Amino acid sequence: MTHPGRAIQRQAASRCSPQRPASDLSTWREVGQGDFVVIDRPGIWLTATLGSCVGIFLHDSAGRQGGMTHIFHCVDPGPMGGGAIVAEIERLVNVLMRQGARRAGLEARIAGGAHTLTRGKDVGGQIAEVCLDYLKAEAIPLVQADLRGVRARRVVYDPTTGDLQISYPDSKLPPHRDHPSGLHDQTEELFR
């Protein structure tokens, strides 16, 4: 079962290699800013491009399910602080739990939070700090992190296994055992 976070969910266009028919390809879902998706069946990959935004990836290995939220809210300088960010993470946790995940069985991965403009406020770093503070406060183990820096990232996440792959512009994402052949052999395709 998939649970789109918003009524409109953009699905990445299928790309077919000459060796495989389209029916053999996994399903790809682009998770846009402010969206979240929860998946509990294999063969669906979540993907996003993260600049100053932060992606939180939660996985329940016992239930073989997981999800992603693409956080783009800034930290409010007023009394709300990171409240909107915490609400987005909580929304993901709550949907996972409604689908049978055990909160104690969740593990987290996190990526993004770049200071892409390299001047002014480090919005991405502030979002990342709120996310890390939340994970620590809720005792959700962090098993993988790729935060800050000055470059955008392209992420590909398998919610049923917890596998998170990250690529930067001018780099190549190594082919995954289940990726359609040729999908990740050129950076240009990742950052289109």
In this structure, what CATH number is given to the domain that contains residue 47?
3.30.1330.200
* Strands 54-60 vs 2-4: parallel, antiparallel or unpaired: unpaired
70-102 pLDDT, tens digit per residue, is: 998 888 777 778 888 999 999 999 999 999 999
Bridge partners of 1, per DSSP, are none
Residue 13 lies in a domain: no
Residue 1 lies in a domain: no
Helix (H, G, I), strand (E, B) or coil at 87: helix
Residue 57 lies in a domain: yes
Residue 167 lies in a domain: yes
Residue 173 lies in a domain: yes
Token representation of residue 112: 């993004």
Count of domains forming the chain: 1
* Strands 65-71 vs 106-112: parallel, antiparallel or unpaired: unpaired
Residue 141 lies in a domain: yes
Helix (H, G, I), strand (E, B) or coil at 111: strand
Residue 2 lies in a domain: no
Name the nearest CA neighbour of 56 among 121, 111, 114: 111
Helix (H, G, I), strand (E, B) or coil at 47: strand
Predicted model pTM: 0.75
Domain span including residue 183:
27-190
25-52 pLDDT, tens digit per residue, is: 468 889 999 999 999 888 899 999 999 9
130-140 pLDDT, tens digit per residue, is: 999 999 999 99
